[in-house]
Structure 1
């Protein structure tokens, strides 16, 4: 919706970014889209109603039993084993007995055998294994019609490309008197379907991950102050359940190792900062902003206090001098220095004056 991943309560409010109380009809509010069945079942559980169904895809194999080899089981289990071993021992595993108990529990829960001698903290190896696990799924949803580059030295070939109705020539770069570098792409109706793309598999991976995250949000409800793909920052209160942590796949981990956040501020998706106190009583500040490398110079402009000031006082955007390595059209690699604007973004939800937020189209129940 609006070229963004948005979760709304009203189709029309979301499309038009309506920040007032929703006045649309049920027909206007209804969401039209494509979902995997697990998402539909969850929506029905939460009170949604299906008004109309256009098409359903059903597969012969829906759920594998534990003794069956899945489509990617071998590959996934191998890199999950490497990632888990490179994460090191959990903090509660101090004795050999506790370590062996952890290995047995992981085998019982995940059907993956960890090797005692290989469980050593190795951030680089862990990062590599994580990359192999995550980037693999993105290929299934990769854009099929990618730009292509051709080196042309023949006038007839160049003319054929310009007159070919199935392709669109994007750029023509003269290399020398005899050579052209041409970038082009197929027109939408003409490109070949890739054998590596499967949007159903990609949809299931992302949908089930969202539902897993949602299961944590159901526990904390309005106490959640920020969520991302695999993380949740929430307010802990006496008498109310906290999100449990664990050592297994799908379990949350405590990123602060027993510390707690005293102040948190967010300027939008992947744009937040917080102060936290460690177990030893030391106060630390974490600031993360997507697209801006917060080196010493940049952190003098964009930091916890600045983000807090921009959110609470709605102060003006700021500019940060950024450096990037870029490739020119001539394929030379250069360092480019340019100003990059930083501002608060709040386009995906409706915000109130007290800084609480709800989905577009949210309506309070009137008793």
Structure 2
């Protein structure tokens, strides 16, 4: 095996599409929530290693039931077969995925997985907290290759604390009072929360724990935000975290509006329809302007998904422009086009009707 490289565990954010089109029926409600300053909150309250690690690489090739290390772990780990929300990240084909089968991921197999455990196993490097959480969810550590272990005295909980506190205070002062702080009592409660909780582990939120709480209601997730629906007999499982405080949740739905439906075309490509008939559209990598306003719409995304699932994929050609410097030093406007289409290279699809189809991890089927 190749030696452990400390760059390997730096996986990046988790972006996943879970559903295609979801329309809120009578009594149902769609939520679009965002973790307030996710990375700063984690840097403030979590421990980070410092100093030189203990490098351990004399493991025997056998399954282990406990991982008594803190740091980076490189090994061979077998995921369970039927886990809708996998834990461990896996780099493959220049993408970050969360699969249940290594071979299905390499082949982008969207059908039934019939691979052996040896082929399904994921070989790579993760942090100890990810591996321990994965073992709780049914993963098996088949073999350890190499571990960078940091003893307890090399973990610092205040490594970034002073830095985050200083600049978060500036951010709070410049932003003014949040919307829910209108009375003196509400403002005092807001200040008291920060006095009491800045510096504790109260804000330790990770996207996976939010996904666990939401369960099968998920529609879309993107690094530090998630969109989900609740039925009329269900309460919002994250309601108690909707405070707007550091590390907790803020609603991305504009005040006075309710989300009527969500249409997800691909990762970072979706449209939200509100109860007043207005829509918001996000499509990473394209400019939204008067030239594209009539071409890229909620219903255009719906058509892209529908045609793709029926085996007759369509595309939309968008006129775009950018500023560039000419060889004579002047600034010129360059015209070009971009193609928008439905793309899904990170999961398999269960179903062919975009109203009911669900994305599942590679290796789930």
Q: Do structure 1's residue 300 and structure 2's residue 283 form an aligned pair? A: no
1:235 and 1:62, CA in 2 relative to 1: closer, same or farther beyond 3 A? farther
1:324 and 1:94, CA in 2 relative to 1: closer, same or farther beyond 3 A? same
8 Å contact 1:349–1:360 — kept in the other structure?
yes
What is the rounded CA distance, in whole Å, between the counterparts of 2:226 and 2:134 in structure 1?
21
Q: Do structure 1's residue 41 and structure 2's residue 41 form an aligned pair? A: no
Which of 221, 225, 229 pairs up with 1:231? Answer: 225
1:102 and 1:288, CA in 2 relative to 1: closer, same or farther beyond 3 A? same
SS state at 1:342 partner: strand
Q: Do structure 1's residue 87 and structure 2's residue 178 form an aligned pair? A: no
Q: Do structure 1's residue 311 and structure 2's residue 305 form an aligned pair? A: yes
Q: How many equivalent residue pairs?
A: 259
What is the rounded CA distance, in whole Å, between the counterparts of 1:81 and 1:109 in structure 2?
14
SS state at 2:230 partner: coil
Structure with the largest fraction of helix: 1
In structure 1, the partner of 2:247 is 250
Give the superposition deviation at 1:97: 2.6
TM-score, with normalisation over the residues of structure 2? 0.66
In structure 2, the partner of 1:13 is 104
What is the rounded CA distance, in whole Å, between the counterparts of 2:131 and 2:217 in structure 1?
25
What is the rounded CA distance, in whole Å, between the counterparts of 1:234 and 1:312 in structure 2?
21
Give the superposition deviation at 1:254: 1.1
1:36 and 1:241, CA in 2 relative to 1: closer, same or farther beyond 3 A? farther
8 Å contact 2:286–2:320 — kept in the other structure?
yes
TM-score, with normalisation over the residues of structure 1? 0.66
SS state at 2:333 partner: strand
1:287 and 1:330, CA in 2 relative to 1: closer, same or farther beyond 3 A? same
Per-residue Cα deviation, 1:96-128 (whole angstroms, up to 9, x for no partner): 23212211111211149xxxxxxxxxxxxxxxx
In structure 2, the partner of 1:362 is 364
Per-residue Cα deviation, 1:251-274 (whole angstroms, up to 9, x for no partner): 111111363321111111110001
Per-residue Cα deviation, 1:161-213 (whole angstroms, up to 9, x for no partner): xxxxxxxxxxxxxxxxxxxxxxxxxxxxxxxxxxxxxxxxxxxxxxx99x701
For residues 1-367 of structure 1, what are the structure 2 equivalents within 5 Å?
A: 1-60=92-151, 61=153, 63-64=155-156, 70-111=158-199, 212-242=206-236, 243-244=238-239, 245-256=242-253, 257=255, 259-277=257-275, 282-314=276-308, 315-327=313-325, 333-352=331-350, 353-354=352-353, 355-363=357-365
SS state at 2:179 partner: coil
1:21 and 1:258, CA in 2 relative to 1: closer, same or farther beyond 3 A? farther
8 Å contact 2:307–2:314 — kept in the other structure?
no
8 Å contact 1:265–1:308 — kept in the other structure?
yes
Q: What residue ranges of structure 2 are gaps of 5+ in the alignment?
A: 1-91
Relative to structure 2, which stretch is displaced further, 309-318 or 216-225? 309-318
Give the superposition deviation at 1:329: 7.3
Larger radius of gyration: 1
Relative to structure 2, which stretch is displaced further, 242-251 or 342-351? 242-251
Give the superposition deviation at 1:327: 4.5
What is the rounded CA distance, in whole Å, between the counterparts of 2:325 and 2:144 in structure 1?
48
Relative to structure 2, which stretch is displaced further, 232-241 or 350-359? 232-241
Instruction: Give the number of the structure with larger relative contact order, counting CA–CA contacts within 8 Å between residues 6 or more apart.
Output: 2
Structure with the largest fraction of strand: 2
Per-residue Cα deviation, 1:321-363 (whole angstroms, up to 9, x for no partner): 1011234678764321101111111111111313211011114
What is the rounded CA distance, in whole Å, between the counterparts of 1:220 and 1:213 in structure 2?
11
SS state at 1:53 partner: strand
Q: What residue ranges of structure 1 are gaps of 5+ in the alignment?
A: 113-207
